[in-house]
Amino acid sequence: MMTAQQYEESLRKLNFVIYMFGERVANPVDNHIIRPSMNAVAKTYELAHQPEHEDLMTAVSHLSGKRINRFTHIHQSVSDLVKKTKMGRLLGAHTGCCFQRCVGMDALNALSIVTHDIDAKRGTKYNERFLKYLAYVQENDLTCDGAMTDPKGDRSLPPHKQQDPDMYMRVVKEDQEGIVVRGAKAHQTGAVNSHEVIVMPTIAMRQEDSDYAISFALPSDAEGITYIMGRQSCDTRKLEQNLLDTGNPAFGGHEALVIFDDVFVPWDRVFMCREHEFAGPLVEKFASYHRQSYACKSGVGDVLIGAAQTVAEYNGAQKASHIRDKIIEMNHLNETLFCGSLSCAAEGHKEPSGTYCVNTLLANVSKQNVTRFPYEIARLAQDVAGGLMVTLPSAADFQSPQTGQLLEKYYRGNSDVPTESRRRILRLIENLTLGTAAVGYLTESMHGAGSPQAQRIMIARQVNMKLKQRLAKKLCGIED
């Protein structure tokens, strides 16, 4: 298993093509805006080497029998699924943001199931290819970016009817050596911190869309791949000399649009090619796993709740009954998020491939809660913090000889607490609910792993409504 330092050095060897603010980024590892997101991934390597976290952060490979980082593991039991949930909360609490490796882990597990199913029906050898690739990922402890979301263009049209056919990733050429693909993947969290990119279809496909039913893996710096970084609220604060105003200076998350411009993929890296009827099952399996992964939000919630309690004490308001009640409500909502992820893990089952998968219904219920509860937790945290959270002057003003002493005097709360400590906790709450971390805590809670409506559709499909009707009719004496 790699250490955090080895992970950082491994990224330095990659030749990414990255653009941000209209310019190419020559050195993403040391870029002040990108670096915090890399630090968050590095934490997944660091904790794996700490004895107290070994049980959650590592597992024994079913391929090699070696101990590996759990982010490269294929779930072999319900216990593995439960540990995945607990690992997510642990890392969310340690970073206060998205740590980015879940999506690759979920892609690996989904492909371990679906490649087996394709082979069983079509007589292909995708699973054999996949297992060789998996062994490579495990042996080298690689971070994988799971790339599912296409730009989609006109949402009312299927892929093959789009005015621009590149709105969904597609095969444009095929020969004995492999395939050539063209398209893009949007909202790719941690893409420039990954060694590999694993591409999957984004929706169920019909026969007419067969060219779009593809899945493959490539090195993240493969020729023809370009990354364009997205903007975040308050992102340029990371460029300032004094990082106190960032709230969480060490950690963060970042997204990119990943463009594939006629990229060659060798056959040994292709896991689906035109088997259109398996695009939907792959999307469903991946989505179920990834909706479970949002246990990480309960870890970030732990940080936000701790910050709310701290700022209440710094403000001298911790004994007010309404403050105590709000903190209780925040904890109630946060633990409910954790319960949802645990429940879909505990009700997991074994697939024909041998991989254990979460309960799809409960995974979607869990993620539906995630689209709502973090927003209420954030609202309550802002309520407890007070308006100073968004009117606090800059760190430069506190350092100014003209204004510094005045700000120290008038922004003091509890006399036993330094003004700087009050400023730091307020900036952390701002970061988690409004700033760069809000992308990972709030907006990602809403749209990550599919929109809220996507989960509602899956809930409707998975619920056995006929059974519920039979139970009701039986109790009141109705005979069909």
| Residues taking part in catalysis | 98, 102, 189, 255, 290, 294, 296, 444
For residue 222, which phi and psi values (nearest 5 degrees)? Answer: -60, 150
Strand partners, 299: none
| C-beta neighbour count of 468 within 10 angstroms | 10
Q: Contact, 230 vs 257, CB < 8 A? A: yes
Buried b (16+ CB within 10 A) or exposed e, 328-351: eebeebbeebbebbbbbbeebeeb
Give Cβ neighbours of residue 467 (< 8 Å, ≥ 6 apart). Answer: none
DSSP 255-320: -EEEEEEEEEEEGGGEEEES-GGGHHHHHHHHHHHHHHGGGHHHHHHHHHHHHHHHHHHHHT-TT-
Task: Name residue 146's amino acid.
Answer: G
Give Cβ neighbours of residue 7 (< 8 Å, ≥ 6 apart). Answer: 41, 42, 45, 141, 143
Give Cβ neighbours of residue 12 (< 8 Å, ≥ 6 apart). Answer: 29
- Angle made by CA atoms 451, 95, 252, in degrees to the nearest 5: 65
User: What angle, rounded to 10 degrees, do the helices at 279-292 and 360-370 form?
Assistant: 60
Question: How far is 415 from 436, CA to CA, in rounded Å?
Answer: 31
Strand partners, 273: 214
Strand partners, 258: 185, 227
> Residue with structure tokens 């802002």?
382
Question: How far is 126 from 115, CA to CA, in rounded Å?
Answer: 5
For residue 191, which phi and psi values (nearest 5 degrees)? Answer: -60, -40
Per-residue tokens: 170:
């597609």
For residue 318, which phi and psi values (nearest 5 degrees)? Answer: -65, -20
Q: Contact, 419 vs 244, CB < 8 A? A: no
From the CA atom positions of the chain, what is the Rg in Å? 24
